Structure formats: C-alpha cells, structure tokens
Amino acid sequence: MSKKTAIVTGAAMGYKDGGPSIGGAIALRLAKDGYNVVVVDLGEMGQKTVELIEAGGGHAVFIQADVTKTADIGRIIQTTKDMYGGLHCLVNTVARYGSGMMKNVAEISEEEWNATLEVNLNGYFKMAKYTIPLLLESGGGTIVNISSIESFVALPNFSVYSVSKAAIDALTRSIAVDFAPQIRANAVLPGFVKIANSENNRSPEELQKWHGDIALGYPMKRVCEPDEIAHVVSFLAGAESSYINGQSIVVDGGRMICDGHVF
C-alpha cells in the first residue's frame, strides 16, 4: 500500500447542485492530505465529491450505501480492501434531518425518534464496529465522529438530535478507551455551518439575512464554512494530534461560551 486510506460517510456534495457540504469538504481535505478516500453516502452527489477529488489529482471511490445496513457496510469494507488494501481513518458525518424530528420529547413520535437514532447514532456505531478490525489489521488509525454543540446545549425542539449527538460523544470516548493506543477517536462539535442542503431553497437575499440573523449569536459575527470543520478533522485524523484521544472538540467560533449574548 503506497498511501493511507480514509472512509468518509455522509460525504456527498450538496444534493441539488453539488454545492458545499461538511462531509464533502472533509473528503476533499483528506484527499489533499494524501489519503485515498472512500466516499460513502445515500445520495448520488457522492460521485461529484469523487470528481472534485480526482480533478485535484487525488484518488477516491464513491460507494452509494446506507450506513444503517450491515450488508451495505460489508460492501464498503470489501471495496476499501480490494481497492486500497487497508484502512487508516474513519470519519462519520451522516445525519438524518426531517421536520418530524424537530419536536420536543412529548410531541415526537416513537417512529421518528427511533428512525433518527438509527442513522445519527447507530449509523456511527455500526461503521465503527465493522471498520475497527480493518483499522487494527492496517496497523491502527483514527476515528473522527461529527457531533454538534447540541450535544452540550439544547436547541428548542431538537430533542432526539441532541440525544444522538451526546451519545456520539459517549461512543467516541468508549472507542478511545477500548482501542488506544492503536486507534484514537475524537468528536468534532460544530455550531452552525453553511451548507448547500439547507440553502438550496433560499434566494441570495434570504440567505444573507438568515446567516446574518444566526451570526448575531456568534462572537465571530459570521457562521462557519465547511472547510473550517474539515481543517479540524484533518488535524484529528493525522499524526500531529497524536496525544488527543476521546475528546469533544467544539468548533463554534465561541458561541457556547458567550451566555446567549447578542452581538
């Protein structure tokens, strides 16, 4: 094997026009860092991520797969082995959003609760469970789980999302303790990040106003770019973070420390 390999789940570019996404930015950044990248997503815009990586001189393959399905994960692992021989990094980025999920615990249906946890928590658990043997076989590596500041603070009517993110942090700590020193695991907790999927239906003026309103809660006076998450993932995936293990790294421009102040 000539270089390292990373699997990034939820790594499709924005689903309508291939615009920016957090998983896409992570995949592109890891490719620039020299990894072969296995791009995993339910959505066909994963192919767009591969095209962008290849246009930059990198190596990548797209596997259209559902990370909640064990058979699909088997396909991801087999393809990774066949194409690149091993695995050195797993980044879990998938998330399920839906209007039925944005409810308090009294109002959310059991079906919506379970369906959200199936992706946002079990999709992370299953990818870790089935890739850890390959990481170990390959001499060890890193796992980076994309969590959220909603793991620490409660956004109104985001009950199951918050619970899933707090559980991801706990999952990360369990992996960190059980598999060190061969595998290090850390979580990244973004605040609001600009992504195409939530922006597609808004006009440029509406977008500017929306981002401006959100930025009022952020000391940086702007919202986060996907690349600013990808840089942190790159650091946690690589050797320069060699003594960071089991941590929940907040990347929110200082939002959580400002006690609700409006800037």
Ligand X SMILES: NC(=O)c1ccc[n+]([C@@H]2O[C@H](COP(=O)([O-])OP(=O)(O)OC[C@H]3O[C@@H](n4cnc5c(N)ncnc54)[C@H](O)[C@@H]3O)[C@@H](O)[C@H]2O)c1
Chain residues binding ligand X by CB under 6 A are 9-10, 12, 21-23, 41-43, 66-68, 93-96, 119, 123, 146, 148, 190, 192-193, 195, 197
Query: What 3-state class would DSSP assign to 256?
Result: helix
- The answer to whether residue 84 is catalytic is no
Of all residues in the shown chain, the one whose CB is closest to ligand X is 10
φ, ψ at 26 (rounded to 5°): -65, -45
Question: Which CB sits closer to ligand X, 62 or 84?
Answer: 62
Minimum Å gap between C-beta 75 and ligand X is 12
Which CB, 47 or 93, lies closer to ligand X?
A: 93
Nearer CB in complex with ligand X: 10/141: 10
Give the bridge partners for 89, in sequence order: 6, 142
Q: Report d(CA 159, CA 106) in Å as an integer.
A: 10
- Cβ proximity to ligand X: between 190 and 253 the closer is 190
* Alpha-carbon gap, residue 7 to 144, rounded angstroms: 10
Residue 246's nearest CA partner among 139, 170, 141, 182 is: 170
- 3-class DSSP assignment, residue 185: strand
Query: Count of residues for the chain?
Result: 263
Options 15, 161, 218, 243, the catalytic residue: 161
Residue positions annotated with a catalytic role: 161
